[in-house]
Amino acid sequence: MSEFPAGTLMDGKRGLIMGVANKNSIAWAIAQQLAAQGAELAFTFQGDKLERRVRPLAESVGSDFLLDCDVTDDDQMEATFKALEDRWGRIDFLVHAIAFAGKDQLDGSFVDQTTRDGFKSALDISAYSFVDAARRGSAIMNDGGAMVTLTYLGSERVVPNYNVMGVAKAALEASTRYIAADLGPRGIRVNAISAGPIKTLAAAGIGSGRHMFRFNKAASAMQDNTDPKGVAGAALYLLSDLGLSCTGEVHHVDGGFHMIGMPQEAPLRASLEE
Ligand code: NAD
Ligand code: 0WE
């Protein structure tokens, strides 16, 4: 069934996956990879509408442990981690794959478009939610556990229209380092994966989508778009004992797009003419 070959790297480990919306979600690729290696999983979903999508996916990896959790709601966050503690006692890992900014914030000029409320909400949902989940999660996490969050290059460099999300991802990456320092003495490792553009719900409907995927393919070292399986593999490394001693890192999985200084001429021309 699974496209991920079976293994034993996560045998005996339990953890929470936050951010599955549907089968295209990056969190779902990660969940399948972890389950194939023996992990026992719990899932949060955002609201009743998404439960209908997430429940069958969870069941396909042997999980009936689903929790409704909007990360802006303190009561739901409290209830989520209480439910984990009640059922499992302790957890071993946490995956955070959540981001949101108002649609009006992700278009045109950053300086003109970014409102106080838009800024607050994007930073709350996309960055503070990891700090909150890390605090609550670490309270019930075994020493030697691990956490991973998902970020994007728009934190380090300007990407048209990514706007306030880039600022939120910069805060998320800095938070990753501060959390990693706090939890380091307990052997808990905290890392971020910086993925290249992937066709998910969160990447759908972005104005310049077609251009972005073509450009990323043409300008990356591997001349291809990012495969979510590579992101899942990186998450497995970081969340298993393969990742020992790696913490506070932002690991790029983007076909080498981030390290190119100037793209090859021929594929770039072709991508612009398409
Ligand atoms: P996705 O739409 O499948 O996942 C985003 C998730 O965020 C959804 O499950 C949604 O329910 C959840 N979410 C949004 N607001 C929430 C809230 N208030 N409370 C609880 N959950 C909330 O898209 P994805 O691309 O898989 O995104 C997962 C992560 O990967 C995000 O952090 C995103 O920024 C990051 N990322 C995506 C790409 C890409 O190109 N798709 C690239 C790099 C990083
Ligand atoms: O992090 C993301 C997307 C996050 C996201 C997406 C949406 C779309 C729908 C956050 N909030 C919203 N709000 C909505 O209303 N990515 C890394 C994917 C992405 O989104 C972009 C990108 C890339 C890449 C937006 C503009 C430019 C590039």
Residues 228-274 have pLDDT tens digits of 999 999 999 999 999 999 999 999 999 999 999 999 999 999 888 87
Q: Using an 8 Å Cβ cutoff, are 163 and 101 in contact? A: yes
pLDDT band at 167 (very low <50, low <70, confident <90, very high): very high
Is the per-residue pLDDT at 3 higher than 90? Answer: no
Tokens coding 11: 């045998």
What are the beta bridge partners of residue 253? Answer: 195
- Active site annotation includes 178: no
Is any ligand 2 atom within 6 A of the Cβ of residue 43? no
Ligand 1 center to residue 202 CA distance, Å? Answer: 6
pLDDT band at 1 (very low <50, low <70, confident <90, very high): very low
Region 12-30 average pLDDT: 98
CATH superfamily of domain region 14-209+227-259: NAD(P)-binding Rossmann-like Domain (3.40.50.720)
For 8, 24, 247, the CA distances from 233, given in Å and listed in that order, are 14, 16, 17
Ligand 2 center to residue 180 CA distance, Å? Answer: 26
Decide: pTM greater than 0.85: yes
Q: Using an 8 Å Cβ cutoff, are 4 and 232 in contact? A: yes
Region 106-121 average pLDDT: 97
| DSSP class of 8 | S
**Euclidean distance between CA atoms 35 and 31, whole angstroms:** 6
Taking the C-alpha atoms of 221, 224, 228 and 234 in order, what is their torsion angle to the nearest 10 degrees?
-20
What pLDDT digit, counting tens, does each position of 69-112 carry? 999 999 999 999 999 999 999 999 999 999 999 999 999 999 99
Identify the residue whose C-alpha is closest to ligand 1 atom 40: 197
- Active site annotation includes 128: no
Residue 109 CB partners (closer than 8 Å, separation 6+): none
For 125-143, letters b (16+ CB in 10 Å) and e give: bbbbbbbbbbebbbebbee
Ligand closest to 208 (CA) is 2
More confident residue, 132 or 3: 132
Is the per-residue pLDDT at 2 higher than 70? Answer: no
- Domain definitions of the chain by residue range: 14-209+227-259
Ligand closest to 194 (CA) is 1
Is the per-residue pLDDT at 179 higher than 70? Answer: yes
Is the per-residue pLDDT at 41 higher than 60? Answer: yes
Atom of ligand 2 nearest to the CA of 197: 24
**DSSP symbols for 51-72:** HHHHHHHHHHTT---EEE--TT
